[in-house]
């Protein structure tokens, strides 16, 4: 997925049943299909293999719990592994519900969760599905009372997320033209695995998310925001760093000012095509607790009822946060985006990348001055439009259009080096970090690659994206 998610035979286009074979890459020619056979093993089957490996002792961090010293090989044990792979095309099903908006029906607020699981999936994704369905139920009650949203609300139950975000990616690619007017995408996946609340978002929506949690009662008293804050600051409050919820984030994002931690969006769930391919502002809410039954046969209702949420209080809490996000965004007179906050975070990203480049390239390090100045102009444009949000005109249409289009202005038309499907200048999953986010990925990955020329080129690309976004924000009146 570091190159692109979705159907590996249709990069960048929707994998519809009507798509002719001539427009597909055959599975045996797709560079994204795995070439090394692999299979999961239980410890019972792995035991005799590990026990009979020779060679040096393994690094101590590799030592597991079996009662012998692990070695790295080679041999003398030999294993014969026979795998049968089924590469047939199969139909998957996205279930889409829509409430048409009264004032701006072409502006979509999308809320989604995937439905497929590795086995039973009580936590992943059942806890998110239950929260989303309860949000749908609440909106249904509002509709019965006569309320209607100003903008169109779409609820989506995605299929085949576990196979590579296929359902959401193919739907987003299919609806690319309509999504040019989308306002936001709200995601939940592992909604509840324990009592902790966590969230990730684009910086423009981080204050919005915090405000939503201040309006939702927490299972243990107070508000969700209060409980979130009581959970503690980031690991390094003095450095004010936000660490990606997924271990291994290459470039953690500094907070512009300390508040509850809202992480950055890498990949691994269904916000990916909306934000990083199409530039739709996105959030992801869930439970950051690690839980020992992830993606296993033990992630079932019995485990959830005993350990995760016995009284379903946290499930209700997540449903309220998810539903309120959707309702408030759909009904907002002025879109609640904070691009001043966004600009401050990007300035911090650039400052950190400059320090890394100075270490990597020494006296040959490129100048970061123009990129930093562009980030500063973006922040200043964000501050000006934020003041207009607080005193909006009678007709906020032009103001909302600028707020809506600023995120898309951060897209790079040609995409990131080596992976053109990812087009966002500020956020992407790292090429070598799994799901974890890399900020200003073009620049940071060029530094990681010890490539001075590409670093200079990506700085120019980043500067151009920031200048575009600043101009969009400046065209609100």
Catalytic residue numbers, as ranges: 161, 367, 424
Picking from 257, 230, 294, the residue whose alpha carbon sits closest to that of residue 435 is: 294
Angstrom distances, CA of residue 196 to CA of 15, 25, 60, 165, 236: 37, 43, 31, 25, 19
Tokens 């684009």 belong to 202
Contact 458, 447 (CB under 8 A): no
Which residues have a Cβ under 8 Å from the Cβ of 387 and sit 6 or more positions away? none
Burial of residue 150, with CB atoms counted within 10 A of its CB: 0-12 exposed, 13-18 middle, 19 or more buried: middle
19 token code pair: 């798509």
SS3 477: coil
Which residues have a Cβ under 8 Å from the Cβ of 131 and sit 6 or more positions away? 113, 188, 191, 192, 315, 318, 319, 322
Tokens 């809320």 belong to 111
Rounded CA-CA distance 121/276 in Å is 26
Burial of residue 233, with CB atoms counted within 10 A of its CB: 0-12 exposed, 13-18 middle, 19 or more buried: middle
Residue positions counted in the chain: 477
Rounded CA-CA distance 251/49 in Å is 37
Rounded CA-CA distance 346/466 in Å is 9
Query: From the centroid of its chain, how far is CA 153?
Result: 20
Hey, what long-range contacts does 237-240 have (CB within 8 A, 24 or more apart)? none
Contact 317, 218 (CB under 8 A): yes
Which residues have a Cβ under 8 Å from the Cβ of 12 and sit 6 or more positions away? 4, 173, 421
Picking from 25, 44, 42, the residue whose alpha carbon sits closest to that of residue 33 is: 25
Give the CA count within 13 Å in the CB-facing half-sphere of 90: 9
Contact 286, 474 (CB under 8 A): no
């Amino acid at each position: 997925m570091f190159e692109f998610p979705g159907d590996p035979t249709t990069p960048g286009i929707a994998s519809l049943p009507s798509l002719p074979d001539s427009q597909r890459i055959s599975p045996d020619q797709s560079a994204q299909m795995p070439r090394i056979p692999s299979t999961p093993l239980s410890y019972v089957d792995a035991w005799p293999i590990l026990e009979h490996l020779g060679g040096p002792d393994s690094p101590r961090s590799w030592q597991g719990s079996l009662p012998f010293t692990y070695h790295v090989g080679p041999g003398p044990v030999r294993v014969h592994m026979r795998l049968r792979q089924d590469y047939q095309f199969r139909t998957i099903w996205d279930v889409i519900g829509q409430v048409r908006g009264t004032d701006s029906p072409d502006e979509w607020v999308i809320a989604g969760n995937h439905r497929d699981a590795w086995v039973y999936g009580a936590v992943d994704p059942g806890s998110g599905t239950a929260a989303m369905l309860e949000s749908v139920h609440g909106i249904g009650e509002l509709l019965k009372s006569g309320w209607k949203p100003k903008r169109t609300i779409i609820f989506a139950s995605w299929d085949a997320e576990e196979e590579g975000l296929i359902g959401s990616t193919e739907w987003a690619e299919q609806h690319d033209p309509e999504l040019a007017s989308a306002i936001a995408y709200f995601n939940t996946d592992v909604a509840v695995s324990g009592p902790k609340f966590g969230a990730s978002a684009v910086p423009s929506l981080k204050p919005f998310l915090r405000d939503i949690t201040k309006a939702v009662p927490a299972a243990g008293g107070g508000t969700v925001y209060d409980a979130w804050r009581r959970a503690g600051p980031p690991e390094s409050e003095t450095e004010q760093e936000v660490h990606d919820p997924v271990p291994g984030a290459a470039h953690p994002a500094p907070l512009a000012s300390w508040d509850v931690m809202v992480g950055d969006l890498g990949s691994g769930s269904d916000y990916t095509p909306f934000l990083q391919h199409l530039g739709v502002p996105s959030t992801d809410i869930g439970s950051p607790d690690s839980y020992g039954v992830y993606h296993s046969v033990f992630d079932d209702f019995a485990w959830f009822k005993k350990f995760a949420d016995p009284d379903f209080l946290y499930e209700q809490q997540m449903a309220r946060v998810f539903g309120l996000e959707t309702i408030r965004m759909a009904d907002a007179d002025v879109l609640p985006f904070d691009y001043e906050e966004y600009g401050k975070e990007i300035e911090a990203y650039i400052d950190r990348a400059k320090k890394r480049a100075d270490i990597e390239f020494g006296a040959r390090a490129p100048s970061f001055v123009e990129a930093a100045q562009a980030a500063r102009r973006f922040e200043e444009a964000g501050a000006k439009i934020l003041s207009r949000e607080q005193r909006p005109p009678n007709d906020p249409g032009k103001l909302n259009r600028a707020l809506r289009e600023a995120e898309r202005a951060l897209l790079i038309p040609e995409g990131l080096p080596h992976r053109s499907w990812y087009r966002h200048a500020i956020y992407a999953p790292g090429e070598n970090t799994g799901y974890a986010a890399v900020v200003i990925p073009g620049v940071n990955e060029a530094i990681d690659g010890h490539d001075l020329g590409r670093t200079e080129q990506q700085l120019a690309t980043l500067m151009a994206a920031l200048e575009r976004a600043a101009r969009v924000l400046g065209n609100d009146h």
